Amino acid sequence: MKASAFVYPWDVNGDPEAGERIAGLGVRQATLASAYHSTRALTPRHPRHRVVTAEHAAVLYPPDSRWRGRELRPYAAGDWAPGDAYGEAAASLADAGLEVHTWVVLAHNSRLGAEHPDTSVVNAYGDRYPWAPCIAQPATRAYLVDLAAEAAVRPGAHGTELESLGWYGLAHLHAHDKTGGIPLGDAGQYLMSLCFCPTCREGYGEQGLDAEELAAVVRAALEPAWQGAPSDGGWAGVAKLLGEANATATRAWRDDRARTLQEAAVAAVRAAAAADFQVLLHADPESYHCGANAGVDPAHILSVADGVVVPCTGGAGLLTPFAEQSLDGGVLAANFTVVSGMGGHPGALAADAARARGLGATELRLYHAGLASDGDLAEVRSALAGL
* Mean predicted lDDT score pLDDT of the chain: 96
With contact defined as beta carbons under 8 Å apart, do 377 and 15 qualify? no
Going by pLDDT thresholds of 50, 70 and 90, the confidence category of residue 184 is: confident
**pLDDT exceeds cutoff 90 at 121:** yes
Residue boundaries of the structural domains of the chain: 2-117+134-177+255-385
**3-class secondary structure for 122-138?**
ECCCCCEEEEEECCCCH
> Higher model confidence: residue 225 or residue 147?
147
Mean pLDDT for 136-144 is 98
- Statement: 2-117+134-177+255-385 belongs to CATH 3.30.565.10: no
pLDDT of res. 370:
98
Asked if residue 368 has a cis previous peptide bond (ω within 30° of 0), the answer is: yes
Going by pLDDT thresholds of 50, 70 and 90, the confidence category of residue 180 is: low
With contact defined as beta carbons under 8 Å apart, do 22 and 93 qualify? yes
pLDDT of res. 350:
98
With contact defined as beta carbons under 8 Å apart, do 294 and 283 qualify? yes
Q: How far apart are CA 144 and CA 123, in angstroms?
A: 21
Interval 195-234: pLDDT, tens: 999 999 999 999 999 999 999 999 999 999 888 877 778 9
Going by pLDDT thresholds of 50, 70 and 90, the confidence category of residue 179 is: low
pTM for this prediction: 0.97
pLDDT of res. 19:
98
Q: How far apart are CA 96 and CA 83, in angstroms?
A: 22
Interval 44-96: pLDDT, tens: 999 999 999 999 999 999 999 999 999 999 999 999 999 999 999 999 999 99
